[in-house]
Amino acid sequence: MTRRARRTRACAALGAALIVGAAALEADAALGERREVPAERVLRSGSRNLLGTGEERSASVRLGDVDGDGDLDAVVANGRHWPAQNLVHLNQGGGRFNVIRPLGVDRATSYATELVDLDGDGDLDIAVGNDVAPNLVFLNDGEGRFERAGGFGSPTSLRSVTAADVDGDGDPDLILCVRKRLNEIHLNDGSGGFTEQRTFGRPGDSTIDVAAADLDGDGDLDLVLANRDGQANAVLLGDGKGSFDERLEYGSGSDETRAVAAADLDGDGHVDWVAGNIGQRDVLYFGDGKGGVREAVSFGPEDGRTYALALADLDRDGVLDVVAGRAGQPDAAYLRGAPSEPLRERVFGEPEDVTYGLDVGDVNGDGFPDVAVAVSDGPNRIYLNLPQRPEPRRERRPR
């Protein structure tokens, strides 16, 4: 049986891929209340939930309403080390992406298509980050049509782009993770232009991902770095003006970390973060409010290969859950309850897929976050967060 045939068969059998809730009363640790959790749900994908029919070397996907029609669209970065066409997938309602537009005319080695309003006009623009090729800015006309409008930085071994206001001037700047070189920050002039550049980290760092959040409670953004190649992971504390000089290391000192996501996970007012690792378990780090770690909790497989992370309340119980995209292993959601409860793993997707990137958002408008995955050498797809189908009732035949 061919790989494509196996996929077709697997798509037809994805009805019970992931249970994301239970009809029960659970404790909301953050609010100290008890609330009813919705009935059981699954992450389900089929032939109508594909982002196109091709199999690209996709590296990332971002969800956002690019055409102003009130639903979430998807932008996919294709290529990695091999030039390919980046694509904009327009949601036609209900999570069906039946219109595709190319982003620009050039094929490139893209790792990132970050969706953010760069010029302050109220619609989402796109920052395209490429591996050893020019990085580009595409400005939106408000209807999902993008015009190339300059770029940022010089060609380098870029691995991710994150948008955040690092200098506190009210517009989003661009944070570039660059493998085996100094990482970069490009400051926005307010109109989507990037003429001022700064660096962070150490020369030779193999930073693959970064999360920007206020870890020490001083009102400005700090950075959580995900490093590979046996280098120590680190938190870099910001000064509010775009510099990150104070360094606090976390983890074992030699973790192979590829992804990181940050939020207040336990409701104590301090930012926590999740590290996705290769060849080892993933880790929840609970922050101490000063940029350090109060507690670390490992989860997932011992030989995990996590390439992407996202945080979302999948079951709408008031507690953020973890979604992990993996390479050569099933993707997984980790449902969280009270702090004393273990994480509940629910796998989904196809074990042979290489999920390089993912994003979460409500693409079908039912109030529950869905999952979009970017797969290298496989179909990109949406997993809808849907009610679990009841088992068919078997009628007894009279004897």
What's the mean pLDDT in 15-42? 44
> In terms of pLDDT, which residue wins out, 2 or 245?
245
In sign, the C-alpha dihedral spanning 44, 48, 51, 56 is positive
From residue 267, alpha-carbon distances to 251, 264, 345, 351 in Å are 22, 6, 21, 34
Structure tokens at 385: 């967060």
2 burial type by CB count under 10 A (0-12 exposed, 13-18 middle, 19+ buried): exposed
Structure tokens at 275: 């590290």
CA distance linking residue 291 with residue 271, whole number of Å? 9
pTM of the model: 0.89
Structure tokens at 312: 């979302």
Give the model confidence (pLDDT) of 328-342 as tens digits. 999 999 999 877 788
From residue 310, alpha-carbon distances to 32, 260, 333, 344, 382 in Å are 25, 8, 10, 16, 14
CA distance linking residue 236 with residue 213, whole number of Å? 10
Give the model confidence (pLDDT) of 161-205 as tens digits. 999 999 999 999 999 999 989 999 999 999 999 999 999 999 888
Give the model confidence (pLDDT) of 336-365 as tens digits. 987 778 899 999 999 999 999 999 999 999
On the question of pLDDT at 395 being above 60, the answer is no
Q: What integer pLDDT is reported at residue 35 of this predicted model?
A: 38
What's the mean pLDDT in 253-264? 97
Structure tokens at 350: 């196809």
Structure tokens at 326: 């993996």
Q: What integer pLDDT is reported at residue 397 of this predicted model?
A: 55
Give the model confidence (pLDDT) of 50-100 as tens digits. 999 989 999 999 999 999 999 999 999 999 999 999 999 999 999 999 999
Residue 359 · residue 346 · CB < 8 Å: no
From residue 133, alpha-carbon distances to 81, 157, 183, 199 in Å are 10, 9, 16, 19
